[in-house]
Amino acid sequence: MGWFGYGPLDGDDGMDLRDLIFELINISYDPVGNTIQSDDAIRILLETNQEMIYDVLTDYDFSKHLNPGFIQIVYIQALACIMCDYGAKINERGKKTFIKFIDADTWALENAERNQEMIQLKNRVLEN
């Protein structure tokens, strides 16, 4: 499907990361594809498992992707979006990593809409 917007979760790669994270923290889905857990329950799971999630992404083999550097950036940014979307408190390790990968986004240098998405995401992380 590719990209349908300019945010980290607006494409297949970001959505793949969301699925990976939800699998790691045991999020269940109903037959229609909606999460069974409440948003608050997901927030708690993200907060209590964030170190494990960061470790999994640190050890993840990005070389299996066609563009490993870009995928790594998108995955980290997508995790920042997920954490913010659910209101999870981001620890210092997460904040430092998220800001680093938001600032490393080369697409944002070439595209005004993407740049705006990165500015908004960085602000959300900093305000967390």
The number of CA neighbours under 13 Å toward the Cβ of 53 is: 28
Reply yes or no on whether the pLDDT at 3 is more than 80: no
pLDDT in tens, 45-87: 999 999 999 999 999 999 988 888 888 999 999 999 999 999 9
pLDDT digits (tens, 9 = 90+) for 15-39: 889 999 999 999 988 888 888 999 9
Q: What share of the chain is helix, strand, coil (3-state, %, to 5)?
A: 70, 5, 30
- Total-model pTM: 0.91
Q: Which pLDDT score, from 0 to 100, does residue 68 have? A: 87
Identify the pLDDT of residue 1: 54
**Measured between alpha carbons, how far is residue 76 from residues 39, 42, 86, 95, 126 in Å?**
21, 18, 16, 11, 15
Q: What is the pLDDT of residue 117?
A: 96
Given a contact cutoff of 8 angstroms between Cβ atoms, the answer to whether 99 and 125 are in contact is yes
Cβ atoms of 58 and 97 within 8 Å: the answer is no
Torsion of CA 42, 18, 20, 26, to 10 degrees: 20
What residue spans define the domains of the chain? 12-127
Closest CA to 108 of 77, 85, 82, 75: 77
Q: Could you give the CA distance from residue 80 to residue 70 in angstroms, rounded to a whole number? A: 15
User: Nearest 5 degrees, angle CA 109-CA 105-CA 49?
Assistant: 155
